[in-house]
Amino acid sequence: MNLYAPVKQNRTLFDKHQGTIERAIEAVHKREFYAQYPEMPSPQVYGETAEADQKKLYELQPGAKFDRLKQTHDTWITSDEESPFTMQKLSISYPAFSEAGKYITAVQAAWSDWRKTDAKTRAGVLLESLERVKGSFYEVAFSTMHTTGQSYMMSFQASGPHAADRALEAIALGYQELTRFPEKLTWTKPAGKVNLTLEKFFTTVPKGVSLAIGCATFPIWNTVPGLYASLITGNPVIVKPHPKAIYPIAIVVAHIQEVLVENGFNADLVMLAPDTEKKLITKELAENPAVKIIDFTGSSSFGQYIESLPGKVSFTEKAGVNSIIIDSVADLGAMAQNVAFSISLYSGQMCTAPQNFFIPKGGIKAGDKHVPFEEVAKAIVDAVKGLVTHPKAGPAVVGAIQSEATHKRISEASALGGKTLLESAPVQNPEFPNIRSASPIIIELPASARATYEREMFGPIAFVIATEDTNQSVELASGSAREHGAINCGAYTVDNKVMESIAEKMAEVGTPVSFNLTGNVYVNQNAGFSDFHVTGGNPAGNASLTDPEFVLKRFTRVQAKVNHG
């Protein structure tokens, strides 16, 4: 006899990918360097003709139907997507439902086999889908570039291998937690002369319909962890992309649906639910009582609304204000080059980009010398100027500005007060003459201007803040993290005691710190399998990619006991 017997078991796909999942579980637990998907676009790894072939695919898409989805639909929606590089509308049409409620009904109808199959079968199907996505990494890159404004290289890496690694990480932890306890056992309790014996069966029950709400800047990277975490734990998922960035995640959903159907599952288990600015459907979906799980990346105000919805488990990444604390440096130039890159990369449109630079007003120790505050600020300003005006590096690093709102925020930043140390200017891109671009603006503010610098100024806007001393810098950075959230913190110090103190104080407000980064390692970067992304320990988000909670909260453990008398 077997209770909770799984349906549609598939060992073939699991066997094919077993090595990958076991290696991923090991990597997550060792937190060493590991990447299943190499981050550089390489013909050897990704196929000799892959880039050219997929570029053609991409070029056919604007103005046309995206017809690779296998999901049920009753209409087509033409998207608001627009390339920040060309300023041309993409005008892609996606299959959709005319009413949001129909997505709920459809995913619920498609759910039953997936809910009742086992962890191995789910893991096999999901890993196979990632392999298919790998075969589309270049199209993913082009579509990401021309929706988000990320440079081509960043689009490839962030939406391709890095995102796939994060997805694999979620599958691996999900698989591990689903199989952590035995499925069945015979339980025998000594009870005096006799033994009491029960057969026990354990199962995992998915929570219910999952809603993955995407953002406009990282449409794949920020969506796939929650999407795959919900799927591995047995839940159906409605993917509601940002209306300005549908195409990249549509490719992912299409591949998942393809593998589901090939293996006898219903494509509607995962549905793309596109919408347009004119008729947004996020709230209607989120408030539906059948929706039990919500993954969200976006603004603090919408994130707080999501978190406040009763009867849901939510995983949010909201706004954070990241700080760089400069106490002392070994090499002023090396520090300045490094932080200049972090400010400029994708024009500060990463949730991990630094905004506030706290520097003691009396200056800092740099190598053997004492360097006044103004000189530290100038070193950063000069490094940014050098980078963004570099004819090749400049446009490649800054990419384009995703939204008009961010563009407007930059142009209005000089009115915030303080002393503008570096004006923003368009960054010319020879390939895209119509690009919407803007180099960083750097403004000096007094420590007292907390109301200004403790707001997230999304985009390439940085503040240099003169503090009494490093103690005050840490106090301001940690206070801001506690009240307004922070995803990370950078710090420069040559003093181990100061380092320990900064690490400790920022840990108390749930903020990881990167110390003394120079060269090609940047505070913006979190490595899959090794770095937790967001801690959940401050208002920047209530979840962490990918800690055990991220998968555990998506299912319930239930058991049965059978007495054979």
List the interface residues with a copy of itself, window 285-344 (CB under 8 A). Answer: 308, 310, 330, 334
Tell me how many residues contact a copy of itself (CB under 8 A).
76
CB 68, min distance to a copy of itself, A: 33
Report the alpha-carbon distance of residue 491 to residue 326 in Å, rounded.
6
Question: Based on CB atoms, which residue is closest to a copy of itself, 12 or 186?
Answer: 186
Q: Which residue has the tokens 């949001």?
A: 100
Question: Based on CB atoms, which residue is closest to a copy of itself, 10 or 203?
Answer: 203
With contacts defined by CB under 8 A, name the span among 197-205, 275-283, 353-361, 457-465 that binds a copy of itself.
197-205
Question: Based on CB atoms, which residue is closest to a copy of itself, 342 or 429?
Answer: 342
Are the CB atoms for 204 and 233 separated by under 8 Å?
A: yes
Q: 3-class SS at 279? A: strand
Q: How far is CA 244 from CA 114, 137, 145, 305, 434, in A?
A: 31, 20, 12, 21, 18
The binder of a copy of itself chosen from 27, 272, 474, 513 (CB under 8 A): 513
CB 252, min distance to a copy of itself, A: 26
With contacts defined by CB under 8 A, name the span among 88-96, 194-202, 372-380, 450-458 that binds a copy of itself.
194-202
CB 1, min distance to a copy of itself, A: 5
10 Å Cβ neighbour count for 38? 15
160-179 footprint of a copy of itself as x/- string (CB under 8 A): -----------------x--
Q: Does 5 bind a copy of itself (CB under 8 A)?
A: yes
Q: Does 45 bind a copy of itself (CB under 8 A)?
A: no
Are the CB atoms for 481 and 489 separated by under 8 Å?
A: yes
CB 544, min distance to a copy of itself, A: 7
Question: Based on CB atoms, which residue is closest to a copy of itself, 342 or 535?
Answer: 535
Question: Based on CB atoms, which residue is closest to a copy of itself, 430 or 565?
Answer: 565
With contacts defined by CB under 8 A, name the span among 98-106, 238-246, 262-270, 523-531 that binds a copy of itself.
523-531
Q: Does 547 bind a copy of itself (CB under 8 A)?
A: yes
Q: Does 451 bind a copy of itself (CB under 8 A)?
A: no
Task: Please name the amino acid found at residue 82.
Answer: E
Q: Does 544 bind a copy of itself (CB under 8 A)?
A: yes
The binder of a copy of itself chosen from 510, 524, 528, 540 (CB under 8 A): 510
Are the CB atoms for 525 and 162 separated by under 8 Å?
A: no
Q: How far is CA 9 from CA 15, 22, 173, 441, in A?
A: 12, 19, 20, 56
Residues in 101-140 at the binding interface with a copy of itself, rule: CB under 8 A: 116
The structure tokens listed for 212 are 């993955």
The binder of a copy of itself chosen from 140, 211, 517, 540 (CB under 8 A): 517
Report the alpha-carbon distance of residue 327 to residue 474 in Å, rounded.
10
With contacts defined by CB under 8 A, name the span among 232-240, 426-434, 458-466, 515-523 that binds a copy of itself.
515-523
The structure tokens listed for 405 are 């709102």
The binder of a copy of itself chosen from 57, 153, 205, 425 (CB under 8 A): 205
The binder of a copy of itself chosen from 94, 103, 156, 201 (CB under 8 A): 201
Element housing 421 (H / E): strand 419-422
Is the backbone of residue 170 left (phi > 0), alpha (psi -120 to 50) or beta?
alpha
The binder of a copy of itself chosen from 11, 16, 31, 369 (CB under 8 A): 31
The binder of a copy of itself chosen from 136, 203, 210, 470 (CB under 8 A): 203
3-state SS, one letter per residue, for 144-173? HHHHHCCCHHHHHHHHCHHHHHHHHHHHHH
Each residue of 477-513: b (16+ CB within 10 Å) or e? bbebbbebbbbbbbbbbeeeebbebbbebbeebbbbb
Residues in 468-507 at the binding interface with a copy of itself, rule: CB under 8 A: 496, 499-500, 503-504, 506-507
Q: Does 56 bind a copy of itself (CB under 8 A)?
A: no
The DSSP symbol for 415 reads G
Contacts of 56 (CB under 8 A, 6+ apart): none
Q: Does 508 bind a copy of itself (CB under 8 A)?
A: yes
10 Å Cβ neighbour count for 306? 23
The binder of a copy of itself chosen from 11, 16, 26, 33 (CB under 8 A): 33
Q: How far is CA 308 from CA 179, 286, 314, 401, 403, in A?
A: 32, 11, 9, 31, 27
Residues in 389-448 at the binding interface with a copy of itself, rule: CB under 8 A: none
Are the CB atoms for 238 and 106 separated by under 8 Å?
A: no
Q: 3-class SS at 272? A: strand
Q: Does 182 bind a copy of itself (CB under 8 A)?
A: yes
Instruction: Kindly report the length of the chain.
Output: 565
Question: Based on CB atoms, which residue is closest to a copy of itself, 207 or 255?
Answer: 207
Q: Does 19 bind a copy of itself (CB under 8 A)?
A: no
Report the alpha-carbon distance of residue 145 to residue 28 in Å, rounded.
29
Q: Does 44 bind a copy of itself (CB under 8 A)?
A: no
CB 30, min distance to a copy of itself, A: 7
The binder of a copy of itself chosen from 1, 60, 415, 451 (CB under 8 A): 1
